[in-house]
Amino acid sequence: MSEREWLKRCGGRIQDFFDAEADQLPLWLPVWLGIGIVLWFVLPSPRAWQAAILGMLALAMLGLAIGERGGRFLVMIGLTAALGTSLSWFRADYIASPRLQRPVVAEVTGRIITVEQLASRQTTRLVIVSETSGLPPRLRVTLARNPEPAVRVGDRIRLRTRLMPPAPPVVPGAYDFSRIAWFQGLGATGRALAAPEIISHRESANILQWIDDVRARLTVRVKTLVGGEEGGVAATLVTGDQGAVEADVAEAMRISGLAHLLSISGLHVAAMVGAAIFLLQRALALSMTLAIRWPLPLIGAAGGVLAGIAYTLLAGANVPTLRACLAAVLVLIGFSIGRDALSLRVLAAAAFFILLVWPETLVGPSFQLSFAAVTAIIALYETDWARRHLSRREEGLFARFGRAGAALLLTGLAVEIALAPIALFHFNRFGLYGALANIVAIPLTTFVIMPLEALALLLDPMGLAGPVYAGLKAGIALLIGLARMVAGLPGATARLPTMPNVAFAAIVAGALWLLLWRQRARLLGLIPIAVGALLAALHDPPDLLISGDGRHVAVVSANGSVALVRGKAGDFMRETMGEIAGTEVVEPIDAKPNARCGPDACSLMVGRSTERLRLLATRSADLIDRNALEPACASADIVVSDRRLPYWCRPRWLKADRNLLSRTGGLTIDVGSRTIRSVKEMQGDHPWAIGMSSAPRVQ
């Protein structure tokens, strides 16, 4: 066979593949829109973004030259990916807002636009539109306790605060609040130094402020009437305010794989929409005239749409809730015109719309977890095997419950498998028994807790909800007890060091290929999944982690434990360093046998390979005499300090003092390869990055 014939045959097979998958091609629109968005967030500079856009446009031009269905697919994905990169770039520039550059203590006067009660921390978080000159226009301030008198959205207040610039990641791979703050328009965050003074109350409320008031009052009422830690969960299921949940309850729910029940999404919206349709149709059917002459199914569907939209607004319209609402609306529209709308196309349309409006949500865990779970469920039930074995049919009661239980178990397994790499990538840990826990938790929530919650809210205005609230509390107590039992099982949590981006990308690409195609070629997606999983499993954490302020240095030992130079580090710092290393064992460095530590500095050998380097790290604010510090620097390979070290402190390899860290941010160091990664390198030239001169600033 000649080369030309071979190429012609390959081209024919590719065209046959696309012809057979014609119905699946639209599903790739949100995928390639997302790829374009991710390229903007991952690539470091404007030149790289421009090159990505031009490359995608070149791909579209190639598709035009090829023609037929395969060529049209290339045109579609090329233009969509170019749109994603351009859209992210435009969005980041469009919402640009001044931000603080250094800590200040200031008196802030402004109007409150959001109030968030964090019951687990006994604090209140306010977002304020500032009227004070010299400060960014939008600030987030935390009050040490619930203010008296209570403040509301729209109130104009004055308070004294200590403000900080939005925090970059502590070390590469850690949570990047500066990126989140940029897209929220926050120019500074801080803590109030005194109770706020209310200058004037809101005179009138717009619809959004009225919804915020209703949400706040409903959260407090449900939490109070249910009581205890169960009250916080009950309030969250109504209004989506997860700040009402106690910290230990939230942690148990995360470890047990039940945290999705606290995020109002498909389960909750479907229950609300279904209840609205059922009640509206039954109420209208009481009239014989209406039942005969009116299209009750269409009226019920319209009522369900309105109920879903109202519930979404009440719950804050976050990504999972908005996705579920959009999907429900599309399903009901499809039902109204006689189409089977519960499919991956509905999900693709919802994802495409959200990414067009809020492209930044793609890189956050909420969007990824929400859409991965629903995609896995729908893809499972669209397979021929699932239609044959899991669909409902006429059979005995025992067989029906057995089939339903098997379907629920398989659904839970599919969801857990889909969510595992996302949870490990973002949180460095994953609950192993979530599928089993959900077999009990999902029916308990769907058929007991949510109906009792709805009934209690219906009877509450009449003063008849007391017994219902008692039953609701008992049901939620069972849910919390299940979460704690599962979280306490041996090996309940799998932990990994920070997953490389390339490993996560390979797993996601393979999963999408496996789920979105229908022919046997989809099984090729297992190859990148296996490669990505192997890369993630074999990836070792860095030997040394240095925070951006130089105060905290973590040394990773050969057994995976983490030792902190400053043993009195707070919980946030300990958790962050432990997550990056993939361990729960975080201890003071003084316990290390090879560490020589005094009150002002520590010296020890670091590295888990054959090559080891000597580290010298300061750990107090006291000055060290030159006669002691200069020879210590000369004998060290790496010196780390939160102060500017004098010129005569000359280590053999790296001096990571305040002067360097102010430019690079936090660092991670692999001793064996002498590789240094910095926060600045990770953030690139994005507008929220450290030291970006193009970002609007407030000095």
Map tokens 């209840």 to a residue.
275
- Could you give the percent of the chain with pLDDT greater than 90? 32
pLDDT in tens, 24-75: 888 999 999 999 999 999 999 999 999 999 999 999 998 888 877 778 888 9
Distance CA 140, CA 371 (A): 29
Average pLDDT for residues 207-227, to the nearest whole number? 78
Alpha-helix residue ranges (DSSP H) falling in 450-522: 450-459, 466-487, 501-516
pLDDT in tens, 416-455: 888 889 888 988 887 777 767 877 887 888 778 877 887 7
Domain ranges of the chain: 3-94, 99-204, 501-538, 544-664
Identify the CA nearest to 90 among candidates 357, 318, 353: 357
Is the predicted pLDDT of residue 205 greater than 70, yes or no?
no
pLDDT in tens, 546-563: 999 999 999 998 888 888
CATH architecture of 99-204: Beta Barrel (2.40)
Q: How high is the pLDDT of residue 320?
A: 63
CB atoms within 10 A of CB 470: 15
Is the predicted pLDDT of residue 531 greater than 90, yes or no?
yes
pLDDT in tens, 104-156: 999 999 998 888 777 666 788 899 999 888 899 999 999 877 666 678 888 88
- Helices 28-42 and 501-516 cross at an angle (nearest 10°) of 170
Tell me the HSE value of 372 on the side-chain side, using a 13 A CA sphere: 25
Q: Provide the b/e sequence for 675-685 (b: ≥16 CB within 10 Å).
A: ebbbbbebbbb
CB 435 within 8 A of CB 412: yes
CB 515 within 8 A of CB 375: yes
Q: Which of 271-285, 323-337, 481-495 has the lowest mean pLDDT?
A: 323-337
pLDDT in tens, 576-629: 888 888 888 788 888 777 888 888 889 999 988 778 899 999 988 888 888 888
Q: How high is the pLDDT of residue 698?
A: 56
Q: Which amino acid is at 70?
A: G
Burial class (CB in 10 A: 0-12, 13-18, 19+), 279: middle
Peptide bond preceding 149 in cis form (omega within 30 of 0): yes
Q: How high is the pLDDT of residue 405?
A: 74
CB 415 within 8 A of CB 373: yes
CB atoms within 10 A of CB 22: 10
Give the helix, strand, coil percentages of the chain, each rounded to 5. Answer: 60, 15, 30
Identify the CA nearest to 494 among candidates 412, 576, 417: 417
Average pLDDT for residues 203-215, to the nearest whole number? 70
CB 179 within 8 A of CB 142: no
